[in-house]
Amino acid sequence: MWKNIVILALLITLSSCGSKKTAVEASKDSKEVILGKSEAVSYKSLGNGVASISLQLFENNTFKFDFKSIPQPDTDEKPVKISEKGTYTSEGNWKTLNFKNPKFSLASIFDANYASAADFKVIDKENVKINVAKRALPIWGVVCEKQ
């Protein structure tokens, strides 16, 4: 447990080094996506000291991903904020999320070191396939429970 927290704290520190930005801006394409009215599936992070994460999939094949890191005590870190919208396609319980020109690395957020192949698979820099049959998904090493 502590090893994971130390690794995540190191990742936060490294990602904030040299950057004067306090947030990651959403891409222009993301802002143009019109979200659906009713949720099909959603995941939210459990209480933790690392990040607040939510992923909402809507019935019109759109999604919203929100992420906010929690700076560690006794540091001058600023929270990293990500808010992206996109579209998805379905293959049974597998949903392929398409992030249009994300300003972050999907492989860093959907880190295979904290998941199994049955949870998700990063396809490329804009697409990740998730298994919505799972009761929980590890996103950035944080357990996100199905709501």
pLDDT per residue as tens digits for the range 15-66: 444 333 334 445 555 568 889 889 999 999 988 889 999 999 999 999 999 9
What is the pTM for the complete model shown? Answer: 0.76
The residue assigned the tokens 């949870």 is: 119
Expressed as residue numbers, the domain containing 89 is: 2-146
Q: Shortest CA distance to 120 belongs to which of 146, 142, 96, 144? A: 96
> pLDDT per residue over 94-129, tens digit each?
999 999 989 899 999 999 998 988 999 999 999 999
Q: Reduced to 3 states, what is the DSSP secondary structure of residue 9?
A: helix
- Which parts of 70-122 are beta strand (E)? 81-91, 94-99, 120-122
Say how many domains are in the chain. 1
